[in-house]
Amino acid sequence: MAADFQKIKKDFIRLISGNSLFHAYLFFGSSPDDILLFSEELINFLEKDIFEKPSGFLNDFFKIEPRETLSIGIDEIRELRNFLYQKPVISKKRTAIIYKADSLTAEAQSAILKIIEEPPKDSLIILICQSDENLMETIKSRIHKIFFPSLEKNIKNKLEENAEKLLITELLKLKSDPIKNFAMIKEILNRLTLIKQFNLNKKLQLRTVGITLKTKPVKPYSDKKS
């Protein structure tokens, strides 16, 4: 189920606090790099109780990703297995990230499946990819899947949601002196009407009004066509 990054963050903090983390996750979405950063912040929280990008070395973190062959093979999974079967040094978990997990070879997928089926104590495995289409069904059925929407899309949506609120806030300020601010009140009301009727870009409308607010003198809005 899609959710923004902040909600997913809160959910994981709650799971960690309640010692309720699942042993293996698949994080997937259109921005694997953003998902990787989130995962590293999560691991930093497990080890240092700070949910932010790691600023130094993490003792209980292991990452594998495609190499020269553009795939992840059995040798990398053996390294991962050896790492996971050691006890955590500082963190609550020994965490392994498989970045671009959709590049796992068939042999490597069989090997990671065995680890997921019998996970080492205090271990956490995170697979990251754009889509789970190339993963074995048996792997997908044994891990908890979380979809990450595009971070850029989330930011854009929030800007557009806030734009209308900011227009209304500005309108309320101007109404303190409706005679003096008549021109701008009418301009903002017009912008709000356009947004409602034609679903025009809210951010663009806000920017236009913002420019007009800074312009002196303000010309009265006219419904007449020139």
The pLDDT of residue 58: 93
Contact in structure between 31 and 151 (CB atoms under 8 Å): yes
The pLDDT of residue 222: 45
- pLDDT one-digit tens code per residue, 165-195: 676 777 777 778 777 777 777 777 777 776 6
- pLDDT one-digit tens code per residue, 199-208: 555 555 555 5
- pLDDT one-digit tens code per residue, 25-37: 999 998 899 999 9
- Chain center to CA of 82: 30
Question: Between residues 205 and 52, which one has the greater pLDDT?
Answer: 52
The pLDDT of residue 197: 61
Lowest mean per-residue pLDDT among 87-101, 118-132, 192-206, 211-225: 211-225
**Helices 5-17, 32-48: crossing angle, 10 deg rounding:** 30
Contact in structure between 27 and 126 (CB atoms under 8 Å): yes
Superfamily of segment(s) 5-149: P-loop containing nucleotide triphosphate hydrolases (3.40.50.300)
The pLDDT of residue 39: 95
The pLDDT of residue 215: 47
Three-class SS of residue 19?
coil
**Arithmetic mean of pLDDT, 126-151:** 91
Is the pTM here over 0.95, yes or no? no
DSSP category for residue 123? E
Mean pLDDT of the chain: 82
Lowest mean per-residue pLDDT among 58-62, 98-102, 209-213: 209-213
Contact in structure between 153 and 4 (CB atoms under 8 Å): no
What residues does CATH 3.40.50.300 cover in the chain?
Answer: 5-149
Residue 223 has pLDDT above 50, yes or no: no
